Amino acid sequence: MSKLKIYGVPQSRASRALWAARELGLDFEHVATHFAKDTNTPEFKQVNPNARVPAIDDGGFKLFESMAINLYLAKKYDKGQGLKPNSVEEDALATQWSFWVMTELEKPLVTMLLHNVNMRPCEPATYEQCEKDVRRPLQVLEEHLAGRPYLLGDRFTIADLNVASVMMWARGAKVDMAPYPKIADWLKRCISRPAAKG
Ligand SMILES: N[C@@H](CCC(=O)N[C@@H](CS)C(=O)NCC(=O)O)C(=O)O
């Protein structure tokens, strides 16, 4: 069977899948597909018809969507690293937090980030709405982390990796983290892991 291939430059959402693969100690091939230059080709669209990264090809099994990729990698390849959910309930919670971060936080954070780096400036009213939109989910996360060091309890799991990979953008989005000290501590713990750098 051919080696797992992970498509996408690290300066993209592919960094999430690369982080997961490193946590799991996987032997994989990294195909540095650039989101602006290399995705709109018939070859790449065989892997991801959406022409976006990340995508994976695991011995002929193709998958897109960063969160789905990471849940798959953790469940398939965890060999005691503790990333994968250990019960149906943990699985449901990892899915919950992955869906949650994509639907509640990713869009406003990306909008603010791209505005701040001058890549896709938005109207002041849009920016203000995004600032408002992140407050409710951030408060939810803050309160959840008040009682535990990691999202599912006392160990770092794929749920933390998925949520942290989006929360990393809070800095570039210039979100004031002062009201969210638990999130700030948790994020530091997550992104200081050796596999997060790379
Ligand atoms: N929901 C998708 C979003 C993927 C996505 O938008 N990727 C960007 C790079 S970070 C991309 O490939 N953009 C190219 C394009 O939109 O044409 C995921 O999480 O995997």
Distance from the CA of 148 to the center of ligand 1, in angstroms? 32
Predicted confidence at residue 1, as pLDDT, reads 73
Atom of ligand 1 nearest to the CA of 64: 20
Each residue's pLDDT tens digit, 73-98: 999 999 999 999 999 999 999 999 99
Distance from the CA of 107 to the center of ligand 1, in angstroms? 12
Atom of ligand 1 nearest to the CA of 69: 20
Report the alpha-carbon distance of residue 53 to residue 34 in Å, rounded: 8
Nearest CA to ligand 1 atom 6: 52
Q: Which long-range contacts (CB under 8 A, 24 or more apart) does 186-191 make?
A: 186/145, 186/149, 186/150, 186/160, 189/149, 189/150, 189/156, 190/156, 190/160, 190/161, 190/164, 191/164
Q: Domain extents for the chain?
A: 4-77, 88-196
Residues with a CB atom less than 6 Å from ligand 1: 12-13, 35, 39, 51-54, 65-66
Each residue's pLDDT tens digit, 85-132: 999 999 999 999 999 999 999 999 999 999 999 999 999 999 999 999
Atom of ligand 1 nearest to the CA of 14: 10
Predicted confidence at residue 161, as pLDDT, reads 98
Distance from the CA of 35 to the center of ligand 1, in angstroms? 7
Atom of ligand 1 nearest to the CA of 65: 20
Mean pLDDT of 7-25: 98
Which superfamily does CATH assign the domain made up of 4-77 to?
Answer: Glutaredoxin (3.40.30.10)
Class of domain 88-196: mainly alpha
Mean pLDDT of the chain: 97
198 pLDDT more than 90: no
